[in-house]
């Protein structure tokens, strides 16, 4: 059997967007990924669904798998002819034990590649507003392990040389030894008032930073119950933090948001959350697909083929636009047959999807739902006109019912159906169970019902009880009604029933909460 290949990939410091292009490519193409605790689980979304996932991470109180076992695991997988990505936090060559893994691969004649990653030694301080070098303060830096016991530290670190060798000192994995580290630095010549910063889980939503001096930092760690993992920065560059802490000033910093939209549609909301400093946790509970009814396609073709007879084409969602044009292509129908029809859209995103296809809709409603659409075009509607509504199977009946009441001949075609999403990431479910979610977003009534069903199928007997107390952001009043019916409380409701409106409502709520906290 032909031997496989192993990619030893640096995942970066925590923020999944900081992985290199090459590292991402290795994830997308591998047959099996072997990952540890410091690699963001969100990176697993880029792995093929059929690829095997093996967790070998280490926790402070136990090792899931010893390093020697990991080394042999990589060899065994490659000998099976598989392409393996070994995903390691930070950079694999900086205290990542990549030499041991690569050495055994070499000894067994297995091809490997080391893919560098952004090391936490520079990235974590940067996210805390601390540049590790500065023209006026530090022109050099040292990276030192702080994880060993004091006697091992003394054997591996020449304190008399390290202490003043560079302008900035970076200690990785040294929270538990911070007192001893500070003591040695002072003993070997560092002023006791030298600034020190500890940054925990840097670049992530849990990022926490404390600042002190060599003489005070141990007490601050105890008083704040500061826990690892953290990067320790020693030097005058720490003082830059007051001006440069850009990440912590973002409006959604520290907020992990559950995104329940369909996987194909989650990117817009997730990207906005990330841009504002939050962390999206994608947990798709709905999926859209073509109707499963075998007779549906012929029903759709029959009514779309009569395009010349319609006075109105009304779209209530982006999905409706997308699937409408899929069927046009499948049935080889010409959009020009609808030349007599005026076009209406329920909201700006739907109108944008139409504009990308060269179709301009009527004036948009003020309120982005069926009632708002009717209000905006009611004076243009006439009894006897014919309207075609390409939509989803769970769409509300308000629009066709009211059009019929106004005397229009309305044809509804369900061009897609919304179903329960079949697969969610185990790590995301665990975050929900462990109450590590800071807010839940719902963008439709179906996302509410389906989240509850997914949780029940996952063994949660009382989903509403599990989610009690977690703030809920709703895209609009119709979705909010479904939230309350499910036994949850609505914390934030968008004024405009759009993704932009939802994000703005979340930001406004966070800012209001911050102001309230500052005034207390």
| E strands present in 305-461 | 312-315, 342-345, 386-392, 409-420, 439-442
Task: For CA atoms 465, 429, 92, 62, give the dihedral sign.
Answer: positive
Contacts of 72 (CB under 8 A, 6+ apart): 104
How many angstroms separate the CA atoms of 216 and 220, rounded?
A: 6
| Residue 465 burial (CB count, 10 A) | 10
Question: Is the CB of residue 468 less than 8 Å from the CB of residue 437?
Answer: no
How many angstroms separate the CA atoms of 232 and 37, rounded?
A: 19
Catalytic residue among 36, 91, 311, 414: 36
Catalytic residue among 91, 173, 311, 314: 173
Q: Return the DSSP state at 95.
A: S
Question: Is the CB of residue 452 less than 8 Å from the CB of residue 428?
Answer: no
Q: Would strands 230-234 and 168-172 be described as parallel, antiparallel, or unpaired?
A: antiparallel
How many angstroms separate the CA atoms of 31 and 47, rounded?
A: 9
Contacts of 33 (CB under 8 A, 6+ apart): 27, 44, 47, 51, 52, 53, 54, 84, 85, 86, 87
Catalytic residue among 58, 250, 409, 481: 58
- Annotated catalytic residue 58: yes
Cα angle 269-434-202, degrees, rounded to a multiple of 5:
60
In what helix (H) or strand (E) does residue 5 lie, and over which residues does it extend?
Answer: strand 5-10
Question: Is the CB of residue 207 less than 8 Å from the CB of residue 199?
Answer: yes
In what helix (H) or strand (E) does residue 318 lie, and over which residues does it extend?
Answer: helix 318-330
How many angstroms separate the CA atoms of 167 and 406, rounded?
A: 77
Nearest to 45 by CA among 203, 280, 290: 280
Cα angle 395-397-401, degrees, rounded to a multiple of 5:
145
- The encoded tokens of residue 71 equal 């080394």
Question: Is the CB of residue 396 less than 8 Å from the CB of residue 372?
Answer: no
* Per-state percent for the chain, helix, strand, coil, to nearest 5: 40, 20, 35
Nearest to 398 by CA among 374, 367, 363, 417: 374
Buried b / exposed e along 1-10 (16+ C-beta atoms within 10 A): eebbbbbbbb
- The encoded tokens of residue 177 equal 């030894």
- Catalytic site positions: 36, 58, 173
């Amino acid at each position: 059997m032909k031997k496989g290949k192993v990619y030893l990939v640096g995942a970066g410091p925590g923020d999944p967007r900081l992985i290199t292009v090459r590292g991402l490519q290795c994830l997308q193409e591998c047959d099996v990924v072997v990952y540890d605790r410091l690699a963001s689980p969100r990176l697993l979304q880029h792995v093929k669904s059929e690829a095997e996932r093996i967790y070998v991470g280490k926790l402070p109180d136990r090792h899931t798998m010893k390093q020697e076992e990991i080394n042999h695991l990589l060899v065994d997988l490659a000998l099976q002819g598989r392409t393996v990505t070994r995903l390691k936090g930070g950079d694999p060559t900086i205290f990542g034990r990549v030499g041991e893994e690569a050495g055994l691969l070499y000894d067994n004649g297995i091809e490997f590649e080391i893919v560098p990653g952004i090391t936490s030694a520079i990235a974590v301080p940067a996210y805390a507003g601390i540049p590790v070098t500065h023209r006026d303060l530090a022109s050099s830096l040292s990276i030192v392990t702080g994880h060993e016991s004091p006697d091992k530290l003394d054997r591996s670190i020449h304190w008399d040389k390290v202490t003043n060798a560079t302008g900035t000192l970076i200690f990785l994995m040294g929270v538990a030894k911070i007192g001893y580290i500070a003591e040695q630095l002072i003993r070997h010549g560092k002023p006791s008032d030298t600034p020190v910063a500890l940054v925990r889980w840097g670049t992530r939503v849990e990022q926490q930073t404390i600042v002190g001096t060599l003489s005070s930092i141990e007490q601050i760690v105890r008083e704040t119950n500061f826990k690892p993992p953290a990067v320790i920065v020693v030097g005058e560059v720490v003082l830059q933090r007051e001006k440069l802490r850009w990440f912590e000033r973002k409006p959604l910093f520290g907020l992990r948001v559950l995104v329940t939209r369909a996987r194909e549609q989650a990117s817009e909301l997730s990207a906005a959350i990330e841009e504002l400093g939050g962390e999206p946790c994608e947990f798709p509970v709905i999926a859209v697909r073509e109707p499963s009814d075998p007779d549906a396609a012929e029903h759709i073709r029959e009514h779309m083929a009569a395009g010349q007879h319609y006075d109105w084409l009304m779209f209530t969602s982006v999905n409706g636009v997308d699937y409408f044009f899929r069927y046009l292509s499948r049935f080889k129908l010409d959009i020009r047959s609808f030349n007599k029809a005026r076009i209406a859209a329920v909201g700006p995103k739907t109108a944008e999807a139409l504009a990308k296809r060269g179709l301009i809709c009527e004036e948009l409603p003020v309120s982005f739902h069926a009632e708002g659409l009717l209000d905006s075009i009611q004076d243009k509607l006439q009894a006897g006109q014919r309207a075609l509504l390409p939509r989803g199977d769970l769409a509300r009946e308000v629009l066709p019912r009211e059009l019929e009441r106004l005397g229009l001949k309305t044809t509804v075609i369900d061009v897609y159906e919304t179903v329960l999403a079949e697969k969610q990431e185990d790590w995301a479910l665990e975050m929900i169970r462990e109450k590590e979610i800071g807010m839940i977003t719902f963008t439709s009534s179906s996302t509410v019902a389906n989240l509850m069903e997914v949780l029940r199928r996952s063994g949660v007997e009382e989903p509403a009880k599990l989610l009690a107390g977690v703030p809920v952001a709703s895209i609009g009043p119709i979705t909010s009604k479904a939230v309350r019916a499910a036994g949850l409380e609505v914390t934030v409701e968008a004024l405009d029933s759009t993704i932009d409106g939802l994000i703005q409502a979340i930001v406004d709520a966070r800012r209001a909460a911050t102001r309230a906290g500052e005034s207390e």
